Structure 1
Amino acid sequence: MNIENLMTELSHFVITYGPKLIGAILVWFIGSFVIRKITRALHTIMDKRDLDASLKPFLKSLSGIILKLLLIITVLSMLGVEMTSFIAILGAAGLAVGLALQGSLQNFAGGVIILLFKPYKVGDFIETQGYLGTVKEILIFHTTLKTADNKIVIIPNGNLSNGSLINYSKEENRRVDFTFGIAYGESVEQARKLIIDIFNQDDRILHEPAEPFVALSTLADSSVNLTARVWVKGENYWPVFFETNEKVYKAMNEAGISIPFPQMDVHLIGNKK
């Protein structure tokens, strides 16, 4: 009698759950095959779009985990497992972890955004968060800068992705701005010609997108100021800036053009008797 009851229960189980079990197994194998195809396709797309090497394995793993999780939930649902409570618990746990790791998750999301959209890359010279430096390393949670005086600055990616940033290396050419002061009474035309001649003798100075420019800009307290602008390759910015200042200073001295310094004239008026 016990054997008959056991066989009856077994038959009932097979009839009731057999089709569900077979369907779940089929869905698992087919789903796993589709997930492998999708992850390979994503990897191919990332290669074609030349994504950062450190971002590719992360995105591939993340997409695989999400798809596998969805497949597991689907298979368990097919077997009759009630998933509502499980999903609610999973959501609550995810919320708790998210609140606990809020700062880290912000930096993580910022790192993904930076690696995807590439506002800067390794080797670029940038200014951000009050720092100037060359990008040494871009990681998921932070970016490392190396300053001109050889300091290492580590900046969270959350701040970088949400804050203002100047990338001095993004464009091939940069404009160099100068201000040269001459004394009142000196010839503006002579000073302008002298500066233009210095620019024309420097092969590093470009004539596109604009020719070298010199014009009187300010009648200051102690000087007449000339503004000069030239275009150069990015790597020549500082050499041209420093060397041109020195050349103009020497040329003005040789030409007898006075370079003023801040001064004040005091007029003494005697008491009338």
Structure 2
Amino acid sequence: MSTSLFDINNKAILISGASRGIGRAIALYLAENGAQVYAAGSRPESIEWMRSHELHAQGRLHPVVMDVRADDSAATLIEEIRSKHNRLDCLINNAGVATNTPATGIKADDMENMININFKGAFRACQAYYRAQRKEGGNVINMASILGLIGTPLAAVYCGTKGAVIQMTRALAIEWAGSGFRVNAIAPGFVDTDMTDMIKKRQSVLEKMLETIPMRRMANPEDLCGATHYLASDASAYVTGQVIVVDGGATAM
């Protein structure tokens, strides 16, 4: 297989939730490999660190503000990117939040916020992208979770939102294939970010969790870069409606 299939040089890519964690790792990786990466955070201060990064100086990492909770935020940003590059080659919906609250104790505001960011935010961005490029085609990568495939305590709403993202991915892949759009998802397992701090702070909980992973470790954010590169490149040109699981074998147990 030719390595040119994996070439992402100068592809214009927008990724939400890029200020930290998985999004940060993916944004830096894609920019290092030649893509024009628009790395979005919800607040100006959350992306300020990018302005002093060498990839920004080299013109490949572009910090931008996008609040996925706002109706027009994604649409406005997508049009700005298209005005510079003529098209947006890939949209990565990565923004997400989680809690570790019992189902009976979660507050209505927290539930609405999680649904708004994890599911509605991704859906709004997909809509905006399709409307902007329905005559040209496009490529969407939705960051889901293995908790959209399996259940776990203290994450009822989070599991629900990620399950919704997976089903949305499949539905849009079918509906938009005729317009040249590919829509896929990545389902990470437990990743070493601040979203899993509640697990890492309790040694007994951490040890119990690691027992459910055949590789006996949490993922690093960088472990998600390979699957993302594949889906963002022409190597996956005939792949749509799929969920790539990156979990160290957890869902094989």
For normalisation by structure 1, the TM-score amounts to 0.21
Higher strand proportion (structure 1 or 2): 1
Larger Rg: 1
**TM-score, structure 2 normalization:** 0.22
